Amino acid sequence: MKSLYIIFLKKLLVFTIIVALVGFIFTILLPANYITPTLPFLYVFFFAATLVVHYILLKVSEKRTPGFINMFMLVTFGKLIFFLTIILIYALLNRDDAIPFIIAFFILYVFFTVFEVTLSLLQSKAKRTSEPTDEEKKKEVGSE
């Protein structure tokens, strides 16, 4: 599990740097009132949130419980509620910056969610192909 987590961490770091560089280019090109001043903090926030959620899902997948899908949905729902709470609190406290913040938050949410789901699917596919099936395990036990 540690190696999967480290691989994910490295890829997430590279992805975050690329997204931040693209965001920096947009910061230069767009008028200042279109860009939220919290944008650099949003990169760190989404990096940390994605890392924590992926760690939780790796821990749950380790146990191989049939309820993994339920836990995945619960974690995803919890993340969504948490993010909506952040958006609501920020928008209420900073009304002048609410719209640029919400737009930036939504764009980063989509990018980081697509990244997380894509890598999770690739890792689970790689994990399934590298592990022996139940039939192969039975053959190994039978040949001993």
CA 71 → CA 61, 66, 68, 112, distances in Å? Answer: 9, 10, 5, 19
**pLDDT the model gives residue 13:** 96
pLDDT tens, residue by residue, 39-88: 999 999 999 999 999 888 888 877 766 777 788 888 889 999 999 999 99
pLDDT tens, residue by residue, 24-43: 999 999 898 889 999 999 99
Contact (CB, 8 A) for 90 and 104:
no
How wide is the angle at C-alpha 115 spanned by C-alphas 120 and 81, nearest 5°? 90
Contacts of 26 (CB under 8 A, 6+ apart): 35
**What H or E segment, with its residue span, contains residue 143?**
helix 134-143
Which residue matches tokens 């689970």?
124
What pTM did the predictor assign?
0.82
Domain locations along the chain: 2-129
